[in-house]
């Protein structure tokens, strides 16, 4: 009777092993809308196995003749905007003076002349200049290196754990290799977005407050009758808080003695893009400004995806802005040297190796080895399923780690079978050899944990596979001991 039970257990183990192998390496398919679809997540491959995009960035050499504002010290204070009496919606707009009063003739105020013709000392002057996207004085090796470091920090914060970046220290050109996936456009935006926040006078274009006073930024969300709205929250330092308070008091709707309303606006810009043009209803004293970002979204899942994707903007603002502007010169897809045929050959070699090891095990240890053969296949299948459901990226190094933990598992099986053949009980042999194995590989376990937290996907993938391989080996062994 006991022998029959052992035979049934062995058959069950083999069937389960075969089923798990098929699911792990082929997939689990269900019919949806008449099409068989694999419901398991796909494996994630590193750039060396899946191919990548090679993006070539060059310094922006554009220049433009502009009329700009300068302060008394000659510092740039914004581009002069054509004077207008109304915005695109037809609302009356005008410039305000330091007391928040609407100015009828802003040109005269800027030129240092009051309404009655009295000359005043103007705080700003206007001047026509040829403005370069990258002034010559900024094209230095230090700025080249600083730009490269800022881009690396941005990519790391958005979990671009796999990328390569090269820089020409003479010309400043950048070559960046990124995975060819859905995050490619985001990666390009992180590289080409300088990340400078400014609050400007909507009517004139004069800079009122810049990102040198931004202490932090966050992406927030709220729901209203129109759906879910994403907000960009800016928090300013002490000096910026005082400036923002003054701005909130000046840029608002003013009612004159005749009862006519005049509204003055500010614009919040990210580089050359306007995030919002608005005016204030109340004084802002806490140094915090919340800006609606994007449109209200009615679908919750779409809102969550948009909010998560918008987090890059907050990271860009929180970090340093790029000292130089880059443009994309070329975008090339670099195919992997590992083609389908190569992968098939590797899979065949791996399968043959497992079969040979299993056959040797059966030849040496007879029927006792069959359930260990099944257990080995279950172990391999579970690791493969873990790779599907975790963020383990399959790279050359990860494959080496994969083979290493499997070899470790089969080494344990051979030691156990050897002790069983010599007369020891199965549980005693398992306990003894498992203890010896884990004592011997404590350094490997420590290294695996350290590797998991490395930013490089090449290193972290090794740590993940070693970690899960050891955890799975321990769990299966404990189940066998129960």
- For residue 461, give the nearest of 377, 401, 417 by alpha carbon: 401
How many other β-carbons are positioned within 10 Å of the β-carbon of residue 387? 22
pLDDT on residue 94: 44
- C-alpha dist (Å) from residue 57 to 17, 196, 314, 317: 51, 19, 23, 21
| pLDDT, position 2 | 59
User: What is the percentage of the chain residues whose pLDDT exceeds 70?
Assistant: 87
Return d(Cα 44, Cα 388) in angstroms, integer.
7
CATH of 2-43+338-481, one of 3.40.50, 1.10.3470, 1.10.10, 1.20.1640: 1.20.1640
Query: Would you kindly state where each structural domain of the chain is located, as residue ranges?
Result: 2-43+338-481, 52-334
Res 11: pLDDT: 77
Catalogue the long-range contacts made by 38-41 (C-beta closer than 8 Å, 24 or more residues apart).
Answer: 40/385, 40/388, 41/388, 41/389
Give the whole-angstrom CA distance, residue 131 versus residue 137. Answer: 13
Q: Is the dihedral of CA 45, 46, 49, 50 positive or negative?
A: positive
CB atoms within 10 A of CB 139: 15
If 0-12 CB within 10 Å is exposed, 13-18 middle and 19+ buried, where does residue 194 land? buried
Cα 475 to Cα 244, 329, 379, 382, 470: the distances in Å are 59, 52, 10, 12, 9
Give the C-alpha separation, 321 to 150, whole Å: 8
Q: Which is nearest to 122 in space by CA: 80, 70, 66, 181?
A: 70
pTM of the predicted structure, to 2 decimals:
0.69
Q: Which residues of the chain have pLDDT under 70?
A: 1-7, 33-34, 82-123, 159-161, 337-340, 455, 480-482
Predicted confidence at residue 372, as pLDDT, reads 84
Strand ranges inside 93-172, DSSP E: 95-96, 102-103, 124-132, 164-167
**Separation of alpha carbons 252 and 247, rounded Å:** 9
With a CB cutoff of 8 Å and minimum separation 6, the contacts of 66 are 79, 80, 128, 129, 130, 131
Distance CA 303, CA 348 (A): 45
Supply the pLDDT for residue 108: 46
pLDDT of residue 298: 86
Cβ atoms of 433 and 423 closer than 8 Å: no
| Per-residue pLDDT tens digits for 82-136 | 654 444 333 334 444 444 454 444 444 444 444 444 444 456 788 888 888 888 8
Crossing angle of the two packed helices 141-157 and 184-192, in degrees rounded to 10: 150
Q: What distance in Å separates the CA atoms of residue 179 and residue 162, rounded to the nearest whole number?
A: 7
Nearest to 220, CA basis, from 288, 266, 151, 277? 288
pLDDT at 4 (0 to 100): 66
Beta strands in 202-252, from DSSP E residues, in sequence order: 207-210, 214-224, 227-236
C-alpha dist (Å) from residue 450 to 51, 70, 216, 346, 386? 28, 53, 31, 29, 19
């Amino acid at each position: 009777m006991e022998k029959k039970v052992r035979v049934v257990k062995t058959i069950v183990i083999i069937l389960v092993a075969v089923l798990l192998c098929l699911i792990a390496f082929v997939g689990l398919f269900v019919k949806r809308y008449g099409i068989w679809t694999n419901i398991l997540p796909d494996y994630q491959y590193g750039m060396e196995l899946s191919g990548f995009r090679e993006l070539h960035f060059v310094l922006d050499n554009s220049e433009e003749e502009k009329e700009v504002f300068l302060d008394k010290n000659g510092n740039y204070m914004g581009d002069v905007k054509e004077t207008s009496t109304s915005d695109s919606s037809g609302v009356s707009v005008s410039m305000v003076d330091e007391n928040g009063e609407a100015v009828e003739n802003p040109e005269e105020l800027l030129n240092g002349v009051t309404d009655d013709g009295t000359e005043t000392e103007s705080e700003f002057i206007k001047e026509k200049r040829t403005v370069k996207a990258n002034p010559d004085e900024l094209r230095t090796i230090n700025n080249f290196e600083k730009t490269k470091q800022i881009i690396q920090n941005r990519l790391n914060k958005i979990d671009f754990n796999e990328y390569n970046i090269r820089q020409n220290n003479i010309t400043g050109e950048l070559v960046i290799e990124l995975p060819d996936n859905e995050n490619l456009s985001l990666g390009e935006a992180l590289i080409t977005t300088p990340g400078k926040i400014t609050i400007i006078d909507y009517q004139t274009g004069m800079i009122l407050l810049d990102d040198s006073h931004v202490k932090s930024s966050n992406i927030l969300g709220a729901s209203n009758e129109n759906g879910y709205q994403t907000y960009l929250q800016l928090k300013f330092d002490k000096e910026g808080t005082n400036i923002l308070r003054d701005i909130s008091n000046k840029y608002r709707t003013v009612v004159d003695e005749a009862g006519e309303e005049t509204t003055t606006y500010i614009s919040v810009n990210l580089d050359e893009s306007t995030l919002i043009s608005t005016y204030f209803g109340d004084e802002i004293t806490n140094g915090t400004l919340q800006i609606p970002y994007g449109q209200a979204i009615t679908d919750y899942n779409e809102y969550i995806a948009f909010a998560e994707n918008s987090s890059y903007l907050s990271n860009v603002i929180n970090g340093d802005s790029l000292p130089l502007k880059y443009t994309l010169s070329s975008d090339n897809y670099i195919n992997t040297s590992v083609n389908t045929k190569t992968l098939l050959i590797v899979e065949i070699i791996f399968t043959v190796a497992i079969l040979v090891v299993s056959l040797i095990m059966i030849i040496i240890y007879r029927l006792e080895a069959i359930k260990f053969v099944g257990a080995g296949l279950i172990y391999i299948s579970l690791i493969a399923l873990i790779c599907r459901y975790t963020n383990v990226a399959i790279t050359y190094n990860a494959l080496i780690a994969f083979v290493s933990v499997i070899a470790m598992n089969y080494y344990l099986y051979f030691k156990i079978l050897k002790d069983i053949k010599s007369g020891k009980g199965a549980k005693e042999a398992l306990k003894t050899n498992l203890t010896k194995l884990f004592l011997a590989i404590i350094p490997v376990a420590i290294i695996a944990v350290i590797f998991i937290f490395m930013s490089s996907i090449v290193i972290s993938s090794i740590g993940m596979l070693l970690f899960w391989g050891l955890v799975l080996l321990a769990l299966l062994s404990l189940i066998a001991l129960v």
